[in-house]
Structure 1
Amino acid sequence: MIKGTFTFCLSAALVSSALLTGAAQAADKFVAVTAIVEHPALDAVRDGVKEGLAKEGFEEGKNLKWKYQSAQGNTGTAAQIARQFIGERPDAIVAIATPSAQAVVAATKTIPVVYSAVTDPIAAQLVKSMDASGANVTGVSDELVLEKQIELIRQVVPQAKRVGMVYNPGEANSSVVVKRLKELLPKSGMTLVEASAPRSVDVGTAARSLAGKVDVIYTNTDNNVVSAYEALVKVGNESKIPLVASDTDSVKRGAIAALGINYKDLGVQTGTIVARILKGEKPGSIASETSKTLELFVNPGAAEKQGVTLSEDFVKSAKVVVK
């Protein structure tokens, strides 16, 4: 009788344990993350998202299933990843950079989508306005005030008249910036000279086409350009063309200066929004956000290589001076 009672209790305990384990697994949240390509800024966003989730109580290996995939710069791959993620039914999909965000938003109207590092989510047709969308999409934009970028160009190259820009015309982020710069630069006595780089491998060739035609090259957060920034730096150093960026990591790689967003912080901000959704809020009730904090990075060594002398006050004003 005692043996039978023990067996019954053991069985009951095992069943109870299994049920508890199942309940714990059922309580886990699943976040799928994709980026159009891997480069320092987008990688920082990805890591920031994970950090933001952890701060809100969602940790991988404890109560969070985390999956990440890069499209390696290919929009077709981005669409494949979007379809794959949707089939796996995550609680939320984080899409980093415009092409990946467009692919995911086009593929689902039900699964919550949180975009990040998208310059103009309205032009990219992710949302109709920065207000709460009422749909399954929200996120964080990395849009910069271009007037401040123009001021930076003037600080680095005071006599600049012709500003070159290498970009991918197929990326909505970049096309919006080009259009806006064409409107703004003439007000400061400058003009824009464009060079197309539809693929990362085209960046060096596009940069070389600007030699002798421009006084400075400005780069936004175009993913093709940022992923191949060393090719741009090579041309800048060889041709003595100053490089000014909007991505602060590009300064560490050879740009003279950048006034940009801290992309790790942008990721944390994005992760906080994802956590709100995991806790029950609807993405359509959460307004899109932007980052208001800008940081100045300066690289005096790059300035010397590219034929520019920076003022002492300008260098001292930087948050980070790259040695």
Structure 2
Amino acid sequence: MKNSTKKLSFLLAGLGLLLAACGSSETSTDSTADSSTGTSEEGKTFKVGITQIVEHPSLDAATEGFKAALEEAGLNVEFVEENAQNDQSMNMTIAQNLVNEGVDLIFANSTPSAQAVKGATSDIPLIFTSVTDAVGSELIESMEAPGGNVTGTIDLHPDTIANTVAFLKDELGAKKVGTVYNTGEQNSVAQIEQVKTLLGEAGIELEEAAVSTSAEVKQATESLIGKVDSLYIITDNTVVSALESVVDVANANELPLMVGELDSVERGGLGAYGFEYYDIGFEAGQMAVKILNGEATPSEIPAAYPANLKLLINKGTAEGLGLEIQESWNAEIYE
């Protein structure tokens, strides 16, 4: 009887070990499946650095979109957010501080911000937005194959400047266009070169006024009065951060003011061919999600142009200029 009891106990113990082994194998398989889908480890918190060159509605909207994409993906994220207030020295310091902080990824909102971060690290993934010419500013090797630790979203649709020049010529009858920009911003220089070329082809002269700080914007704009019949402000961070100064001068002198972004129309510009900065920030955030989840590296994610280009016209500004909005413009109206 005792021997039978011993044999039964031995068999039961062996069966228990077998079941435990099966259970262990099933758990391991589930863990592997989670990893293969690229989902982040449950409970893990990512530290993401955000650096923005200056505060203005378009850049702020892009940062908001970036954060929303990460939150929508369900990631646990601790944001380390800094703003350089258009101070280049502070911009460089912020980049180095984020690297020293040991963040998992850095989101750089503007060309100067992205350039500073790239100069500070070649290891930490860098996602940019609000950059006009990522190749020319040497952030990436090409749009299709960025290379290195950098990728992101561009803030200039290929047709934006061409459409704006056509509008200035065909709808506003412009002969001499004035612009104000920061010659120290590489993205602005690249845009102005394109503006100058296209205006020249259209038989329109370009009068330029250079600034280095937002405090100089109003005086620079006033220097154009009497020399031009319209104004065109591109997506220059220094000037856009002080856009109200340009709007005041334009309105006081009854000059149509075309701008480079939709937010600037809402702030008083006559019109713009643009897109929502929130959207390019959101798309940059989706890129970040793939990288944080281990689904891709920055070099494997092509940089992207904005989509959904549209013309937005400020009704109040148009009325102030005595302009009648034409159906042929196919414009959305801001009231």
Instruction: Check whether TM > 0.5.
Output: yes
Spell out, residue by residue over 1:194-217, the C-alpha distance to the aligned partner (whole angstroms, 9 max, x if none): 011211011101100110111111
Which residue number corresponds to residue 268 of structure 2?
Answer: 254
Counterpart secondary structure, 1:292: coil
1:35 paired with 2:35, answer no
Report if aligned partners of 1:221, 1:246 keep a CA contact under 8 Å in 2.
yes
CA drift at 1:311: 3.1
Q: Residue 54 of structure 1 is aligned with which of 71, 77, 80?
A: 71
Counterpart secondary structure, 1:174: helix
Which residue number corresponds to residue 85 of structure 2?
Answer: 72
Q: Residue 156 of structure 2 is aligned with which of 136, 139, 143?
A: 143
Between the aligned partners of 2:107 and 2:258, the Cα distance in structure 1 is: 29
1:68-147 pair list within 5 angstroms: 68-144=81-157, 145=159, 146-147=161-162
Consecutive aligned runs of 4 or more in structure 1 exceeding 4 Å deviation: none
Which residue number corresponds to residue 253 of structure 2?
Answer: 239
Counterpart secondary structure, 1:288: coil
Between the aligned partners of 1:264 and 1:155, the Cα distance in structure 2 is: 30
Counterpart secondary structure, 2:167: helix
Counterpart secondary structure, 1:290: coil
Spell out, residue by residue over 1:280-318, the C-alpha distance to the aligned partner (whole angstroms, 9 max, x if none): 12111111111121122111211233x341333157x32
Spell out, residue by residue over 1:104-143, the C-alpha distance to the aligned partner (whole angstroms, 9 max, x if none): 1111010000010100011111112112233111111112
Structure 2: which amino acid aligns with 1:224?
T
Report if aligned partners of 1:211, 1:241 keep a CA contact under 8 Å in 2.
no
Between the aligned partners of 2:147 and 2:81, the Cα distance in structure 1 is: 27
Which residue number corresponds to residue 236 of structure 2?
Answer: 222
Structure 2: which amino acid aligns with 1:310?
E
Between the aligned partners of 2:237 and 2:45, the Cα distance in structure 1 is: 33
Between the aligned partners of 2:211 and 2:253, the Cα distance in structure 1 is: 19
Question: Quick one: structure 1 residues 231 and 94, their matched pair in 2 at CA, closer, same or farther if it must change by over 3 Å?
Answer: same
Between the aligned partners of 1:101 and 1:168, the Cα distance in structure 2 is: 17
Between the aligned partners of 1:309 and 1:148, the Cα distance in structure 2 is: 19
Spell out, residue by residue over 1:66-92, the C-alpha distance to the aligned partner (whole angstroms, 9 max, x if none): 121110011111101001000011111
Spell out, residue by residue over 1:225-244, the C-alpha distance to the aligned partner (whole angstroms, 9 max, x if none): 11100000110011111100
Structure 2: which amino acid aligns with 1:53?
L
Question: Quick one: structure 1 residues 156 and 51, their matched pair in 2 at CA, closer, same or farther if it must change by over 3 Å?
Answer: farther
Which residue number corresponds to residue 282 of structure 1?
Answer: 297
Structure 2: which amino acid aligns with 1:226?
V
Aligned residues: 292
Report if aligned partners of 1:142, 1:290 keep a CA contact under 8 Å in 2.
yes
CA drift at 1:151: 2.0
Superposition RMSD in Å: 1.5
Between the aligned partners of 2:285 and 2:310, the Cα distance in structure 1 is: 21
Q: Residue 291 of structure 1 is aligned with which of 282, 299, 306?
A: 306
Between the aligned partners of 2:245 and 2:259, the Cα distance in structure 1 is: 14
Counterpart secondary structure, 2:240: helix
